Structure 1
Amino acid sequence: MLFENADEAFNARDLSAATTIFSADFVSHPLGTVGVDSVVKAWSGLHASFPDMQVIVEDMLVEADRAAVRTSLHGIPAEAEGQALPLPSMMEIFRVRDGRIAELWGPFFTLPPRTDELSAQPSLGVWAEWAMGPGNVNGP
């Protein structure tokens, strides 16, 4: 339920809910940030860039204090900078402590395979730049 609450808060643009979902010392490994304020900043940036964006949980695997969550991203433009973009899926791995999200690894993006050698699929870097902002692509 915790991860559904996070996605519901993101989709509703309820930034104040982040304080009840994420631990005060939350660590985002891909962004290299710590704290709930980093979540609010990331969410705000995504909402500003993609006002119609919605995150939908497709699959979730939970074991002990870890969860792997696959989501699909809806409401984003079909192209960016003149390049056609497929609808991405995102895989994130979380660690939970005391009922709150304490750590994040990912996001790892899934793009559709190329259908032929001439089709131009965007690189993963396109999505990483959009998700994390220019200069913040550190990898998982």
Structure 2
Amino acid sequence: MTTREDASALVRRMQECFNTRRFDQAADLHTPGFFSHPLGTAGFEAGKDAWRMLVTRFPDVRVVAEDILVDGDKAAVRSSVQGIAAPDGGAQPMLFEIFRIDDGRFAEMWGASTGFPASASPEDLLG
């Protein structure tokens, strides 16, 4: 079973890798068979490519975990996205992700976003 402390530390380490653009270090936080449901791919390489695409388009983007909820081997994370202007004064962009954790590493991820400018959500950038 994953503890709240362990899951929170893992999420914060991943976000620190993203925010400091140390994408290669984030690979160690994922199992070799990590599966991203939004990307429909196994392995973390596609995730690194997605991160690179996002920071190319939004060089000041940062993510900050606002809530981390843990149940068994799953962690649900609500993160604010900074460095991207909300469209037409709308709500700040947010990410919602659920991770399955296996032996202290991310094994699987589901996700969605809200508040991104049109055609600029992570899903749109990769689709």
Higher RCO (CA < 8 A, seq sep 6+): 2
**TM-score, with structure 2 as normaliser:** 0.82
8 A contact 1:42–1:132 mirrored in 2: no
Measured in 2, the distance between the counterparts of 1:135 and 1:44 equals 11
Measured in 2, the distance between the counterparts of 1:19 and 1:105 equals 17
Structure 1 residues 87 and 37: CA distance shift in structure 2, 3 A: same
Percent identity, please.
39
Task: Select the residue among 14, 23, 48 that pairs with 2:22.
Answer: 14
- How many residue pairs are counted as aligned between the two chains? 119
Q: How does 1:102-113 map to 2 (within 5 A)?
A: 102-109=107-114, 111=115
4+ residue runs over 6 A deviation: none
Gap regions ≥5 residues in structure 1: 112-121
Structure 1 residues 135 and 66: CA distance shift in structure 2, 3 A: closer
Larger Rg: 1
Q: How far apart are 1:33 and its partner, in Å?
A: 1.3
Please give the root-mean-square deviation of Cα atoms over the aligned residues, in Å: 2.1
Task: Select the residue among 73, 76, 80 that pairs with 1:72.
Answer: 80
Residue equivalent to 2:122: 131
Gap regions ≥5 residues in structure 2: 1-8
1:4 lines up with 2:12 in the alignment: yes
